[in-house]
Structure formats: C-alpha cells, structure tokens
Amino acid sequence: MKVLVLNCGSSSLKFQLFNMEKNDKLAAGIVERIGNEDAKIKYAPTGRDKYAEVLPVKDHEEAIDLVLKTLCSPERGIIRNTDEIDAVGHRVVHGAEEFTGSVPVSAAVLQKLKDCSRFAPLHNPPNILGIQASLWLMPFARQVAVFDTAFHQTMEPEAYLYSLPYRWYSEKGIRRYGFHGTSHRYVAYKAAEILGKDIKTMNIVTCHLGNGASITAVKHGKSVDTSMGFTPLEGLAMGTRCGDIDPAIPLFVMEEEHLSAADMDKILNKESGMFGVTEGESDMRLIEDNYFAGVERDVLALKLYVRRIVKYVGAYAAVMGGVDAIVFTAGVGENSPVTRELVCENLAFLGVVLDKKKNDANELLMSTGPVAVMTIPTNEELAIAQETQFVINSEE
C-alpha cells in the first residue's frame, strides 16, 4: 500500500509518500508561499537528486496538483500515475471532542471538521482545503483524517476541565484539548518497543520540545494529562509562546498600555517565550551557544526553560504514581544534550541517572538508573501514514 501524507498550512503544504510494506519513505517535500507568483516546490525523492523550482501556485488545489505531477513526472517521478496512491493521510490540527481517533473522510466528517474550525481558525481551514482538493484530484484514493488532538481525548474530566464557569465548557467547549498528539503517541509506543516492555504496564512522560513544546503523561499507553491546553499557548516556555502565566497579567498590561485582544494575542504567541526573555532570540541553538559563553540573559532563559520542564515531569510523575521512562523528542529534545542534562540533574530524586557520554552522543537510551531516559526522533508523517493504513485495514 502506498500512502501520501499531506500537512496543509495556511501558505505551505508538506508532503511525504510512503510504501507501507516496509514503511519506506519514497519521497518528501514542501510547497511554500502558496497564493504567490513566486511559490516554491522542494522535492526529495529517496536515493535520487533533489529538485526545486520557483513558480506561481494559486491555491492549495494547485499545490496538490503540482505535488502529484512531480511525483509522477517522467524525469524525476517516483510513481507512474496517481492511481498508485492507495490512500491519503491528512494531518488535521483540531478535532475537538468530535474525534477521538483517526477517521475515514466522508461528507459528515468534513462538516464536523468545519464545525471544529472555530477552535483552530488558522489551522483547520487549510487542512480542510487540502482534503477537499485531494478528494477532487485523487478520487480513487482513500482519504483519512489524523488529528493532533485525538490522542489526548482519553484525559479524565479532572485533567481537561479548567476551574472556570462550567457553562464555558458545556456551552462553548472551553477545556484542555492538548496538541502534538501524533508525536507523543508515536514516541511513547516506540519507547516501550525499544525497551521490550508492554506499554500497558508503563508510565511514560513524553517531552516534545520543538519551537512549540508540550509534555504528556502517558499511563498504560493513554494520554492522562498534557501541558498544552485549549490552545497551544499553555504549558512550557516555548520559542516565542509564553506557556503558563498568571492570567491576570495580560488583563493588567492591556489596561495599562491600551492594547486590544489581537495585540495581546500576538505578544503572547509571537513575542514571548525565549524570544521575550532574551529580547529577540528564539532559536535554541543560539541560546545554547550564548549560555555556554555566559551571556546573562540567555543563561536565565535556558534555566527558565528547563525549570518549566522539570516542574511538568515532576507533576506528571505524581499524577501517574511514578514514572518508568522519560522521552525527549523534536528539534530541541533530539539535539540538545545540555537541555536534557539540566532537566535530568533536577530529577535525580525520581531515580533518574543520566550517562553523560550517551547523552552527549544523542543515544536512544541514555540512563543507568531505574528510570529510562531516551531520545527518540519523532516521525509524525510516518505515524500519520501508519494510522491511515490502520484505519483502512480496520474498515475492510
């Protein structure tokens, strides 16, 4: 079975084509600046020369058409025609309470996705455009929607409800949803597989540390708590997002500086986190370099970043009644030994003992104590392809 994975953003489309017999990636790429005269496709067929071209791309339908033509092109293609694509897996950001797992796309599902758009007005609409264009351009392929939120739908009410007027939940759907679910699920199951243990017996804390970052408590294979909330703004200190703050702060500053809700939304999402504390830097590589050079503000930023992670791991160990494994993943989690070391230093009380050499080498398993500390590269695209295959096989 060949599965095409599509991840449609507002002006970009990421794609990967897999042959599911051996989970082989056949090609990957991105179309950027959709809606512009100077859009760009970057395409990397596995084992062959990479290719890039600048050209006008009007909308998401044209972008998907361009991807299909590239995948089937006589010179650089990897398949002969689109009929070879058995299924398309679509990444969808928000499934609200409607979707507790991946689903085959139908007219009813599309309608529900539109209803969920109020929770993710920037993300769900381009996801929906991608699905509609795929239905049109690949009428014979099966289409499956895979949600960032679905893995967290196993949380109990005491984990997902905020201490706010209850009708905000019952009437408006305001609750913790959580994000990065495909990644948390993938690395948790991979950790159990690598350790040769049954995930149904394990308490795992998964730390997805990218530009956006979240931590999940995975008890016996299910998400029981997660740090992102109603939106991806809550939880850890991130590249440019504030994470947990006293909710009175934005109200106070809005009054004092006469800011609108939109102004404050921008500050909390794009000008806070590491960027806010260092006054201009969100790339963890540079913050680390400056940390080692002793630049005061960067030292503070990294310490603050680490402190927040430590607090969440401790909290989730308490929630689950102990922890068997801590998994680091995504850009920072996979590549930053100093972040992992500073986090683990503070978790010795849980039984965390880090092997410094293995940590410096980004090895899969890097602990010697009773709690396994692991670095597992996330692979959201493969996870979406596997989910897609699973949904289709379960239907037959």
Round the CA-based radius of gyration of the chain to a whole number and report it.
22
Q: Which of 162, 183, 180, 186 lies closest to 123, judged by CA?
A: 180
Number of residues that bind ligand ADP (CB under 6 A): 13
Give the residue with the Cβ less far from ligand ADP, 213 or 317: 213
Q: Using the rule CB under 6 A, is 288 a contact of ligand ADP?
A: yes
How many CB atoms sit inside 10 A of residue 332's CB?
26
Percent helix, strand and coil across the chain, each rounded to 5?
A: 45, 20, 35
What is the 3 state secondary structure string of 116-131?
A: HHHHCCCCHHHHHHHH
Residue 239 binds to ligand ADP (criterion: CB under 6 A): yes
Piece of the chain touching ligand ADP by CB under 6 A; list 168-176, 187-195, 283-291, 353-361: 283-291
Q: Does 235 bind ligand ADP (CB under 6 A)?
A: no
Question: Which member of 330, 352, 354, 392 binds ligand ADP (CB under 6 A)?
Answer: 330
Asked if residue 290 binds ligand ADP (CB under 6 A), the reply is no
Does residue 11 belong to the site contacting ligand ADP (CB under 6 A)? no
Say whether residue 211 binds ligand ADP (CB under 6 A). yes
Q: Which of 66, 192, 217, 332 binds ligand ADP (CB under 6 A)?
A: 332
Q: 59, 148, 244, 360: which one is catalytic?
A: 148
CA–CA dist 40, 12 (Å, integer)? 9
Identified binder of ligand ADP from the candidate list 181, 212, 229, 250, rule CB under 6 A: 212
Nearer to ligand ADP, 128 or 284 (CB): 284
Does 367 interact with ligand ADP (rule: CB under 6 A)?
no
**Selection from 273, 6, 294, 262 nearest residue 129 by Cα:** 6
209: β partners: 213
333-352 positions binding ligand ADP, by CB under 6 A: 335-336
Which of residues 229 and 239 has its CB atom nearest to ligand ADP in the complex? 239
Q: Which stretch binds ligand ADP (CB under 6 A): 49-57, 245-253, 326-334, 347-355?
A: 326-334
Is the separation of the CB atoms in 15 and 6 below 8 Å? Answer: yes
Q: Which is nearer to ligand ADP, 45 or 212 (CB)?
A: 212
Q: Is the distance from CB of 13 to CB of 60 less than 8 angstroms?
A: yes
Q: Which structure tokens are listed for 8?
A: 């449609």
Kindly state the greatest CA–CA separation across the chain. Answer: 62
Q: Cα 190 vs. chain centroid, distance in angstroms?
A: 16
* C-alpha atoms less than 13 angstroms from C-alpha of 187 in its C-beta half-sphere: 31
Among 128, 19, 107, CA closest to 71 = 19
Phi, psi of 18 (to 5 degrees): -120, 145
Active site residue 148: yes
- What SS3 state is found at 222? strand
210: contact with ligand ADP by CB under 6 A: yes
| Residue 284 in contact with ligand ADP, rule: CB under 6 A | yes
Q: Where does this chain touch ligand ADP (CB under 6 A) — which range of 140-148, 184-192, 248-256, 284-292?
A: 284-292
Q: Which residue is nearest to ligand ADP (CB)?
A: 331
Smallest gap from residue 163 Cβ to ligand ADP (A) = 29
Binding-site member from 285, 300, 303, 370 for ligand ADP (CB under 6 A): 285
CA distance linking residue 56 with residue 18, whole number of Å: 27
Between 143 and 214, name the residue whose CB sits nearer to ligand ADP: 214
Using DSSP, state whether 15 is helix, strand or coil. Answer: strand
Annotated catalytic residues are 148
Which residues would be at the binding site for ligand ADP (CB under 6 A)?
Answer: 210-212, 239, 283-285, 288, 330-332, 335-336
